[in-house]
Amino acid sequence: MGDVQYEVVDVHSHLTDNDFEKDISDVISAAQKSGVKAALVVSIGKDDFPKVIELNKRFPDFVVPCLGIHPVQGHGDNQRSVTLQDFEGVVESIEEHKEILAGIGEVGLDFSPRFVKSDGSKDEQRQVLTKQIEIAVRLGLPINVHSRSAGRPTITLLKELGVKRAHLHAFDGRPSVAMEGVREGYYFSIPPSIIRSEQKQKLVTQIPLDNLLLETDSPALGPVKQERNVPANLDIVVDYIAKIKKVDPSEVRRITTQNAVKLYHKLARFLVK
């Protein structure tokens, strides 16, 4: 594949969020200057699809789109568990843009009690995730997975469905559960909030570097709670992983970048010279 240049990749971000409306050009420029070569930008719901595609058109040398339906829909106080009705029209939209998509995401399960009021909601989330996995398999794309308060159920479902190419972002479960995913060849991305999260630190202690990726989840999960997160903060993640793994930061950059290209083949054009 040629020589890989070891800049880093943000494998999970929400750069279409309103928090970036006024200064997205500056945010991307700062990221590039800090060594971030590309960012996967994921959607939450159908309304985000056009925004993600438009951002890719504005910044084709940085923004790599992923389209999918998140297990939690709505905004603010109106957030709720996803339904099959939310999925209507999704297949057609994904098919329309399949040539430029790096993956299907953000998809997954979210069993947080404030969103899930019944087993029926959990079942419907599983159905929506299953349908999106079917799309990913058909298009030969990996999935970018959310699994809040549902680590084991998510990994169990992925295994049952025979998923081979998966990336679990900001995993909040126990390291022992994550290791079940590692054994399946899944990747786990770590955000800058690792510096204030004992759980994330334990994850990195257990998960091999060959299964780790870097993410920001911008504008969330930054180094300082409630402050806007940006892709340029990936250096914070690199340095913290290097400290835990007792390796040079350049090794973290090299391996996580290799991992990203292995999983998300569309990234090769950004990173292989």
Query: Is the residue at 265 inside a domain?
Result: yes
The answer to the question of residue 1 being in a domain is no
In-domain check, residue 128: yes
Average pLDDT over residues 24-36: 97
Question: How far apart (Å, rounded) are the C-alpha atoms in residues 55 and 65?
Answer: 8
pLDDT band with cut points at 50, 70 and 90 for residue 270: confident
Q: Binding site: what residues are annotated?
A: 12, 14, 106, 146, 169, 217
Q: Does residue 217 lie in a domain region?
A: yes
Binding-site residue ranges for a divalent metal cation = 12, 14, 106, 146, 169, 217
Dist CA 111 CA 104 (whole Å): 20
CA atoms within 13 Å, Cβ hemisphere of 141 = 29
> 2 in a domain, yes or no?
no
CB count in 10 Å sphere of residue 106: 27
CA distances from 41 to 44, 55, 90, 101, 117 (A): 10, 9, 17, 10, 30
State the CATH number of the domain containing residue 129: 3.20.20.140
Outline where 59-166 has alpha helix (H).
90-96, 119-139, 151-160
How far is Cα of residue 198 from the mean position of the Cα atoms in its chain?
20
Q: What is the mean pLDDT of the chain?
A: 95
Residue with the two structure tokens 């994904």: 94
Q: What is the pLDDT of residue 271?
A: 78
Mean pLDDT, residues 87-103 taken together: 96
For residue 224, give Cα distances in angstroms to 23, 29, 206: 20, 21, 24
Residue 205's domain comprises 8-67+74-271
| Residue at 167 is within a domain | yes
Number of structural domains, the chain?
1
Strands 80-81 and 72-73: antiparallel
pLDDT at 3 over 60: no
3 belongs to a structural domain: no
- 75 pLDDT tier (thresholds 50, 70, 90): confident
pLDDT tens digits, residue range 105-161? 999 999 999 999 899 999 999 999 999 999 999 999 999 999 999 999 999 999 999
Rama region for 121: left / alpha / beta (φ>0; ψ in -120 to 50; rest): alpha
Contact criterion met (CB below 8 Å) for 179 and 155? no
